Amino acid sequence: MIGLETVRLDDEEQALVIVDQTQLPGREVYLHLRTPEEIREAIYHLKVRGAPAIGVAAAYGLALCARRITAEKFGEFYPAFCRLKELLASSRPTAVNLFTALNRMDDCVQRFQQEKVEKIKHHLREEAEAIRNEDAAACRRIGEWGLSLLKPGMGLLTHCNAGHLAVSEYGTALAPVYLGQERGYHFQVFADETRPLLQGARLTAFELQKAGVEVTLICDNMASAVMKQGKVQAVLVGCDRIAANGDVANKIGTSGVAVLAKYYGIPFYVLGPVSTIDFACPDALHIPIEERSPEEVTEKWYTRRMAPEGINVYNPAFDVTDHSLITAIVTEKGICYPPFDRSLQLVCSRQ
């Protein structure tokens, strides 16, 4: 593993501690966040990112900020708690883990509403820690299931960052890579740079190289070339939301990779915990897609502006890969194959 702790709660300092992913790979900077506004800003500005990591950060953040609510009665505590929850929920709209974690914390409060407020705050801390530990365990199991689909020496292509930095441990799409590294599989990974925020270049390439994995960075528009040359035998990507029919929202550019993989006959695997499955969302049309600042396209990472002033810019953070392009969805409870509307339900029913 890479020796970085993505998200943790420091009880002694009363702070949510995250590695600032906007500073990678050049600097390893840890931020100590103490207010709900700081935590929301860190999620919105991608200082902490990756659907599972966002969920863990939100749970920890809610537990931390709830401690500071000065109320002795539940009727006074709960409205203040809900305001904190709503503030954090407004940070990003697409990753369902954010809302799953916040709703789970809300359920915790309501479950113990007959207890003293101080005891409820203690339960919130325990619930947040459980969310973090369950995420870590799920990632390990996702890695085991994913590795069962792969063979030693394979060339693998990934898009964005679904590794250790996006979760508590191991990652989702990169979990099989790390397990394979431990077991001598000698994978060759091709990492798309992932425009416009370069999560592949800054984060995936960084963490794989640090872990000793053989990794080659490519521009997004080079994916077709390495596929055509026979260098890629499987595509592994993460997910921010899975609709009930198997449509998957992930970082912008993922659907294009899926189309290429389909054309070249390469398996396209989506890896993520069952917490990313949203059965209330029937299909792609019902997944909200976040749009971000034009400056991320025209100016970010450049020493000077690289587009004309006043140019119209479309900058969606995510796209949706149609279920028909997906070979399998890998979760901690097992592997789902088409038809996904049935297999997703089946896998989630398992204990």
CA distances in angstroms from 110 to 105, 116, 292, 342, listed in the order given:
9, 12, 35, 32
Q: Please report which helix (H) or strand (E) contains residue 123, including its range.
A: helix 117-147
- Strands 268-271 and 328-331 turn out to be parallel
Q: What is the pLDDT of residues 226-284, one digit of tens each?
A: 999 999 999 999 999 999 999 999 999 999 999 999 999 999 999 999 989 999 999 99
Q: Compute the average pLDDT of residues 219-229.
A: 98
| Res. 1: pLDDT tops 60 | no
Reduce the secondary structure of 209-242 to three states and give it as a string.
Answer: HHCCCEEEEECHHHHHHHHHCCCCCEEEECCCEE
Output 350 or 335, whichever has higher pLDDT: 335
The SS3 of residue 57 is helix
Confidence of residue 169 (pLDDT cuts 50, 70, 90): confident
Write down the pTM of the prediction: 0.91
Q: Please report which helix (H) or strand (E) contains residue 190, including its range.
A: strand 188-192
Confidence of residue 94 (pLDDT cuts 50, 70, 90): confident
Question: Distance between CA 172 and CA 251 in Å, rounded?
Answer: 14
Question: Distance between CA 306 and CA 261 in Å, rounded?
Answer: 31
Question: Distance between CA 203 and CA 217 in Å, rounded?
Answer: 11
Catalytic-residue membership of 240: yes
What domains sit in the chain, N to C, each tagged with a CATH number?
A: 7-139 (1.20.120.420), 142-348 (3.40.50.10470)
Q: What is the pLDDT of residues 111-154, one digit of tens each?
A: 999 999 999 999 999 999 999 999 999 999 999 999 999 999 99
From the candidates 135, 192, 220, 240, give the one annotated as an active-site residue: 240
Q: What letter represents residue 15's amino acid?
A: A
